Every structure is written in C-alpha cells, then in structure tokens.
Structure 1
Amino acid sequence: MQIKPTGVSERIISIDVMRGFALLGIFVVNMLFFHTPYIYINPYTWYQNPSDYETFKMIDIFVQGSVYPLFSMLFGYGLAMQFMKSEANGGAFSKFAVRRLSVLLLIGCIHAFLIWAGDILITYALAGFVLILMIRLKPIWLLLISIFLFLVPNGLLNGLIYLAYKLSPDDMIIYTGIQAIEESVLAYGQGSWLDIFWQRLEDWLYMNGSGAVLLVMFITIVPFLLLGAAAAKWKLIERARELKVFWIITIVVAFAIGTVIKLIPYQNEANMFTMNVQDTFGGPLQAIAYAGVIAMICLIPMGAKILSPIGKVGRMSMTIYLMQSIIATTIFYAYGFGLYGKIDISTGTWMAVGIYVLQIVFAEIWFMKFKQGPVEIVWRKLTYSNSLSKKDEKELNL
C-alpha cells in the first residue's frame, strides 16, 4: 500500500495550534536578524533605549531559545505519526520519508542562499534523516537516546565553557563586531542583489561554518526530534485529557525551572557561559510547558475554537515560514524598501506581530478553498509524485 497525505479530518487541532504559536515566536526572534546585524552584536549591552532593552529582555526570557525546540519536537512528532500511519497501512515509510526530507533539504538550500541566511530547514532535513534511522525504536529508547544526546555533549560543552570562564573571564565576554555590523548594513541596506547574496553567504558561513551546523544538529535538533517521536508513539497530545494531571504537573515544573534558568544572565554576568546555559537548558523546558498549556486549552471546546485561526497558520507552516522571510527581506533589504539597520527592536517586534496577524487572515481565506498551503501543495506533489490516485488528489485539493 502507498502512503497518503494526512487529510483534514485526521488532523489534531492542538498540534496545528502549537505549530502556529511557534511560528509567531520564531518570527519575533527572527525579526531581530531581519532588520539588524544581530549575530554580530552583544544584545545585553547593545540596546541603550530602555524600551528596546525591555523588549529584548522579554523576547530573550520567554521566546528566544524556547520556540524552536517546540517546533523541532513537533517536527519529530509529525514524522513519527506518519511512520505509525504507514506501518498500519503497510506502506514503505523509509522511501517516502527520504523523498520528503530531500525535498525539504532542497527548499532549505533555496531559502538559505537566495532569501535569508538564518534558515533552519536544512538542519531539520538533515536531522530528519537521522530520525529515520531510529524511528522503529520503542518510545522509551527514543527518549533515553534523546536525553543522552542532549545532556552529555551539552553538559560537557558547558562545563568546558565554565572552566574557560574561570581561567580567563575576559575571553567569555561577547564582543560586538563593529566592522561586521558596518559591512552588513552597507550590503543589506544599500547593496546590489549580488552584494546581498555574498553577505548572506558570509552570514550563513559565520553561523554554520566549520561543521557547526552538524554539531548543533546532533546535540540540539536531533534530541528534540527524538523526544517528539517518543511523545507521538505514546500519543501524549492525543491523550491529553486522560493525562491531564501529568500535563499540569509538567507545565508548572518545566515553566518554573525553565524561566529561572532563562533569567541567569540577568541575575549574573551576561557572558558566553550564562547565555549558553540560558538557551540550552531553559528554552527546551519552556517549550514543553508551552506545548502543555496549548494542549490543555484545546481540550476546552471554546478554547479550541478561539485558537483555530492560529491552528490554520500551523497547517500551512512551511508557507508561513517562507512567507515571513520573503516579506521581511523585502521590507529591510536594498532590493525592497531598504530599511535594514534603520528601525528599533520595539518597532521590529510590533511589525512581526502585525505581519503575523495578516498571515492569519491569509490562512483563513486560503483554507476556504484549499485543503493545504501553497508551498505544502508543491512539497507534497514532489514527495508523493504519482502515488496518489485521482480520488486522493480531489479530496486533498492538490
């Protein structure tokens, strides 16, 4: 039997809402990169305006490092759901998954090198290939491997950073690269398309060069995907009602501990060690808490109805993610309105929220006629190729 795309009736509203919520958080964080050379500054000392600093602080504590783990877990959850569906139907999951992730990798490359350097799709695709190798394991093994891959290397890495901090505190200070900032502003704000391309490539290499993309993938993204896959096999979201006590305890404990960890750079010196601990350990705990809160809200009929527009955004997550990059780069880069480096963080944050609201409206209108987002249609066409019958295509509006 062949694997088919998930129909609308099979979708779990809370998962779509989680994706939609994560996309808002991702956009708010990414907006820092869209309008400012954020990767080359020390944000704890850069923002002099009180309003900007407070806005950054709120983003840093409650959003940055806390939404991409949620989205990563959901990616693993979804892949595991597809695996279980294919197993039940007797489909060839591995062949399907490799093709699906290969298309995702291609889209990621186009996004990273032709639109925006902060792409995460390449990393998701590569991490997905790793998950495929372990997807048949029992959920307890997926959980244990996830914990091991996350805690051991990250524990060792942070231990080394802490040791380096004790030996030479000055080396742990995050310095602002003035020359890199000037080059970014010149290229993105005033440069030609080619200037922007080379700056984009330089930024991507700065964030992912020397094997960094593979290291980040194995010690962060892969563990989150495995954790999501384990949760899917246990059906933790589908069984949220009967697991209500589990989820409430998890929400309270994870959010409390995660937030305390996220506050470390503000209670102590903000340096490479405290910043790394903040996002590495605090962010994922908050992500789990956010997932639990949404799962609980969606158990209430009125709550699910109120959040359904965000769920529709989550149903077309690839389209929304790419659309955010296209809109933002058009606003800030020289081939568009050239506002790069000219707005403050508060304005940029409200712009992100405003654009997201417009995307909610777009999703509502789009799903009046179609069953999938435009990029999702292309992605699934390329993935399923000729494996869908005419009946399937009509049902899914492909």
Structure 2
Amino acid sequence: MNFQPTTLNERVDSLDILRGFSLLGILLVNMFAFYLPMPHIDLGNWFTEAKDIIWHQTLDIYVQSSFYPLFSMLFGYGLAMQFMKAERTGISFYKFAPKRLVILLIIGLMHAFFIWWGDILTMYAFCGFFLILFLRFGSGWLLTFGFVINGIMQLFFIGIFALSGMANMEIEEQAVDITMINNAISAYGIGSWTDAFLQRLDDLSLQMGIAMWISSLLTILPYMLIGAAFAKWRLIERGKELKGFWITLTVICLALGLFIKSTPFLFTRTYLLDYLKVYVGGPILSIGYIGVVVCLCMIPVIPKLLKPLAKAGRMSLTLYLMQSIICTLIFYNFGFGLYGEVDVQMGTLIAIGIFVIQVIIAELWFIKFKQGPIELLVKKLTYR
C-alpha cells in the first residue's frame, strides 16, 4: 500500500482559508525587510514621520509577531494530520516525513541564498525534524511539551528583566551599524544582482546565526506542538460541535492579545512590555485569529465566499516564494529600484495589492490544475 498526500476531498476548508489569511499577514510583516535595511535597524525607532509611526504601530499591534505563531501552528496541525492518516492506513509515517522536510529545507536554502535573505522555510523544516519526534505522543502531552518549552524561554527572559532591573526601564534607541545600513542600501538600492547576492550573504549571517536556530526551538517548535495537539483533538474539523469553546476562546484571545500588544503604546515602552507584546501577546492574538476563521466558517455561506482565499492557501508554498520574487523585483535595483523609496502606508498597500493578485492567480490556476507548482514538485519528490 502506498501512502498518498491529502486529496481534494480530504481538505479542510477552514485550514486552507487560514493558510491563505496567513500569507497576507506574513507579507505585511516581511514587506519592511524588502524595502528597508533590516536586520540592521530597530523599526520601533526608525520612523520619524507621524504617518509612518501610526501605520507601523498599527501593523505592530495587529500583524507583527502574530502570524509566524499562526503559521507554525498550521504547520504542526498539517504534519499531525499526515501522521494520523499514516496510522490509519498502516504506513510508516517516518518513511516519508523526514524526506519531505529535507526537500523543504533545500527549497528554503535556495530561497534564502538566491532570492531573499529573510526565508522562514529553513527554520520550519529544522523545527519539523524535532516535531516528528513528538508526534507519537497524545494531544495532552503535545500541548504540555509546547507550553513547557515556551515557558522555559518566558521564565528565562522575564527572570533576567526582574533580576537586572530592566523590567521597568524605558527602551532606549539602540546603537546601529551605520556601515552595514549603508552597505545594504547601496547593494539593494543601487547595486547589481551580484551586489545584492553578496549583501544577502552578510544578512544571512545574522538571520541564520546559531542563536537564531536555537531561538527557533523556543519560539517556533512550541507552536508547532500546540498545533499538532489541536490536530489530534480535531479542534478545527469539529468547529460546529465545539462552537461554545471556539467562541469563548476567540473572544478571550482577541481581547487579551490586542491588549498586551497595545501596552507599549498605551503606556511607557519598557523592555518588559515590549517583550510581552512580541512573545506573549503575539501568540495569544494568533489563536484569536484562528478562532475568528473557525467561527466564521460555521456560517454555511462564509466558506463559499472565502473559497478564493482557500485556494491561495492550497498553494501557500508557491505563493510565499512568489512574494519574494515579486518584491525583490519591485524594490531592488535590478528591478524597479524602489528600495527605500516608499513609506509604510505605500508598502502596506503594495503588499495588499500583491496578495490580491496572488488570490486571482490561485483562482485561475485551479481551473486547470489540482495543486500549486511547488506543491506538486514536493509531492513528486516525496511520494514518487
């Protein structure tokens, strides 16, 4: 018996809608890194115009740090669904899962080195190797592991803030490396593809440093484990059955997440509040967003209305890579050369415009094909 990937009839609409929704959130966050010299600046202190500050703060509250946990949970949810399907069919999950992760890792490395330094696929593949070691455990254990691993990081940093007296200290403007900033502006803004490639290697040395790999096990893996626990409970598929649970969870997580993420702007921006905004408020809000989609999908007409978003979610890997190609062509000098030339509002509108075009592309693509091109490639390489 051959193990097969998920067929069209087996797909869960709300999961695909969530993936499509995540693509928009990820692009809105990544947009800063396409037209500004990140990771060499602090966005919190970079903008000086009032309009830019307001737009950035709005994105910081509603988008930043809430979509990588969401996508991590979806990643864990999907992998756990594959694991349970393998158990039902009597096929060893571990014959194909590591291979799929290796393929994802290779695609991520190619993306990082040749297209854009801010790739996240490599980190997801890396954490995925640890995730599959946990999938034999039940949902309760998976949830516990997720909270414990993330809790270790929370206790460590909050403990440092408390012991050092930094908790109530106002965040000061951080020193920046002017040379690295100028190098990035020159390479991406006025340089050739080769200049951009060499600068990309420098940026990757920061993005993929040892600290980032270790950090991913504390900030990405826990949400994958939580997503896997949700999958084993089939929380999304059983949305209507668990209506009360989802409505309660959604209201609490939206209110609490938005409050925590707003505190640095409502009060003084201290080190503790800024940390809580990113690493506590962000993940809580992401669960609220999941709940919003699950609750909306309980209304019969909504999944039909959001079908285009679901189709985008079905080819999320292809569209994620496409976003990087489009944005580098828009902003880098070997394309339209708009690097550093747009404000936050324009960058946001460009991101929304790109996403709308991608939704239309997905709609047209699935008229003729059943899978996205990169998804089909991964399928062929994994399952043959």
Q: TM-score, normalised by structure 1?
A: 0.93
Report the equivalent of 2:265.
266
Distance of aligned partners of 1:171 and 1:56 in 2 relative to their CA distance in 1, 3 Å threshold: closer
By how many angstroms is 1:78 displaced?
0.2
CA–CA distance in structure 2, aligned partners of residues 162 and 319 of structure 1: 44
Match for 2:376: what amino acid?
Answer: I
Report the equivalent of 1:396.
none
Partner SS, residue 306 of structure 2: helix
By how many angstroms is 1:173 displaced?
4.4
CA–CA distance in structure 2, aligned partners of residues 277 and 238 of structure 1: 31
Match for 2:262: what amino acid?
Answer: L
Q: Deviations over 1:257-294 (max 9, x none)?
A: 11111012213333544322211000110000100110
CA–CA distance in structure 1, aligned partners of residues 144 and 128 of structure 2: 18
Distance of aligned partners of 1:162 and 1:208 in 2 relative to their CA distance in 1, 3 Å threshold: farther
Q: Deviations over 1:331-350 (max 9, x none)?
A: 11122112111111110110
CA–CA distance in structure 1, aligned partners of residues 215 and 183 of structure 2: 26
Q: Is the 8 A contact 2:168 2:271 kept in 1?
A: no
Q: Deviations over 1:94-114 (max 9, x none)?
A: 121001000000000001111
By how many angstroms is 1:200 displaced?
1.0
1:192 and 2:186 equivalent?
no
Partner SS, residue 367 of structure 2: coil
Match for 2:35: what amino acid?
Answer: H
Q: Which runs of 5+ in 1 are unaligned?
A: 386-398
CA–CA distance in structure 2, aligned partners of residues 64 and 167 of structure 1: 22
- Give the alignment of 1:291-302 within 5 angstroms: 291-302=290-301
CA–CA distance in structure 2, aligned partners of residues 184 and 362 of structure 1: 32
CA–CA distance in structure 2, aligned partners of residues 94 and 267 of structure 1: 49
Distance of aligned partners of 1:267 and 1:191 in 2 relative to their CA distance in 1, 3 Å threshold: same
By how many angstroms is 1:361 displaced?
0.4
Q: Is the 8 A contact 1:19 1:71 kept in 2?
A: yes
Q: Is the 8 A contact 1:189 1:340 kept in 2?
A: yes
Report the equivalent of 1:351.
350
CA–CA distance in structure 1, aligned partners of residues 169 and 273 of structure 2: 12
Report the equivalent of 1:221.
220
CA–CA distance in structure 2, aligned partners of residues 255 and 171 of structure 1: 26
Report the equivalent of 2:117.
117
Q: Deviations over 1:24-63 (max 9, x none)?
A: 0000110011011143223233222222111111110010
By how many angstroms is 1:216 displaced?
1.9
Q: Deviations over 1:298-348 (max 9, x none)?
A: 111211111111110000000010000000011111221121111111101
Partner SS, residue 263 of structure 1: helix
Q: Is the 8 A contact 1:154 1:219 kept in 2?
A: no
Match for 2:330: what amino acid?
Answer: I
Distance of aligned partners of 1:71 and 1:95 in 2 relative to their CA distance in 1, 3 Å threshold: same
Q: Is the 8 A contact 1:320 1:359 kept in 2?
A: yes
Aligned length: 384
Match for 2:114: what amino acid?
Answer: L
By how many angstroms is 1:187 displaced?
0.7
Partner SS, residue 284 of structure 1: helix
Match for 2:75: what amino acid?
Answer: F
CA–CA distance in structure 1, aligned partners of residues 288 and 214 of structure 2: 26
Report the equivalent of 2:371.
372
Which range moves more in the overlay, 341-350 or 167-176? 167-176
Q: Is the 8 A contact 1:174 1:271 kept in 2?
A: no
Instruction: Quote the sequence identity (%).
Output: 47
Q: Deviations over 1:137-180 (max 9, x none)?
A: 01100000100000122221232145445399588643444332
Match for 1:352: what amino acid?
Answer: A
CA–CA distance in structure 2, aligned partners of residues 200 and 319 of structure 1: 21
Match for 1:257: what amino acid?
Answer: L
Distance of aligned partners of 1:37 and 1:175 in 2 relative to their CA distance in 1, 3 Å threshold: same
Report the equivalent of 1:92.
92
C-alpha RMSD over aligned residues: 1.7
CA–CA distance in structure 2, aligned partners of residues 222 and 357 of structure 1: 30
Distance of aligned partners of 1:241 and 1:218 in 2 relative to their CA distance in 1, 3 Å threshold: same
Report the equivalent of 1:309.
308
CA–CA distance in structure 1, aligned partners of residues 174 and 42 of structure 2: 6
CA–CA distance in structure 1, aligned partners of residues 145 and 204 of structure 2: 29
Q: Is the 8 A contact 1:164 1:172 kept in 2?
A: no
Report the equivalent of 1:239.
238
Q: TM-score, normalised by structure 2?
A: 0.96
Distance of aligned partners of 1:136 and 1:380 in 2 relative to their CA distance in 1, 3 Å threshold: same
Report the equivalent of 1:391.
none
CA–CA distance in structure 1, aligned partners of residues 165 and 364 of structure 2: 53
